[in-house]
Structure 1
Amino acid sequence: MKKKILVVDDEISICLLLENFLSKNYEVVSIHDALEALKWLEDNIPDLIISDIQMSNMDGFEFLTKLRQRGFTKHTPFIMLSGHSESKERIKCYRLGAQDYLTKPFNPEELDELVKKNLNPIHYAIEW
């Protein structure tokens, strides 16, 4: 059974890119609005969430905060995507509970490594 990844980004092109890249190895669900994603999460629990920061209706910071306040998604691994590379934004994401932060445009290989690391945190290392 493939692991499930939820992608939340209001840019359809980013969702399509992530779906295309990740769907080879994972089940990918794309939602274009954080409020819709929260509704979807009432009945579904993904193995990993990848979300943009800048979205309409609710930004990624608020989405992550609400996600961490829910019991059943409190520990779901979370990768934040952003067009900003500032350290203060990255630190804010980590303090809110994101495991990783990836700046757009991103290298698909780096994304792949972050996904593997978050889905298999202990058994991931290729060489010890």
Structure 2
Amino acid sequence: MKKLILVIDDELTTCVLLENFLKKEYDVVTVSSALEALKKLTEFIPDLIISDIQMPQMNGFKLLEEIRLIGFLKHTPVIMLSGKTESSERIRCYRTGAQDYISKPFNPEELREVIKKNLYPLNYCSSW
């Protein structure tokens, strides 16, 4: 059974790109807002979440805070995507509960490795 990844980004092109890139290895559900993501999270539990930070209505930081308040999602790995490269934004993500942070535009191979690292941490490090 494939692992399930929830992708949240208000840019349709990013959602389509990620879905096409990941769908061979994973089941992928994409949504275009944080509010839509919170609704979806009442329907299923993803194995990993990838979220943009800059979104209308509710940004990725607030979404991450909400996710961490949901008991059964408390330990779900979250990878944040952002067009900003400032260290302060990366630190804020980590302090809010994100496992990883990737700047846009991102290298798909780097994202693939970060996903593997978060979904299969023991297998990933045992390959060293």
Residue type at the aligned position of 1:52: D
Aligned pairs (5 A) from 1:45-84: 45-84=45-84
Q: Deviations over 1:12-61 (max 9, x none)?
A: 00000000100010000000010011011012100000000000110000
Distance 1:107 1:127 in 2: 22
Distance 1:21 1:126 in 2: 25
- Show structure 1 runs of 4+ deviating over 3 A: none
Q: Deviations over 1:71-127 (max 9, x none)?
A: 011110000000000000000000000000000000000000000000001111364
What is residue 36 of structure 2 aligned with on the other side? Answer: 36
Count of residue pairs the alignment pairs up? 128
Kindly indicate whether residue 49 of structure 2 is the aligned counterpart of residue 23 of structure 1: no
Q: Secondary structure at the match of 1:122?
A: helix
Point out where structure 1 has 5 or more consecutive residues left out of the alignment: none
What is residue 3 of structure 1 aligned with on the other side? Answer: 3
Distance 1:109 1:125 in 2: 17
Residue type at the aligned position of 2:76: T
Q: Secondary structure at the match of 1:125?
A: helix
After superposition, the CA RMSD in angstroms is: 0.8
Aligned pairs (5 A) from 1:105-120: 105-120=105-120
- Structure that is richer in helix per residue: 2
Q: TM-score, normalised by structure 2?
A: 0.98
Distance 2:25 2:57 in 1: 31
Q: Secondary structure at the match of 2:124?
A: coil
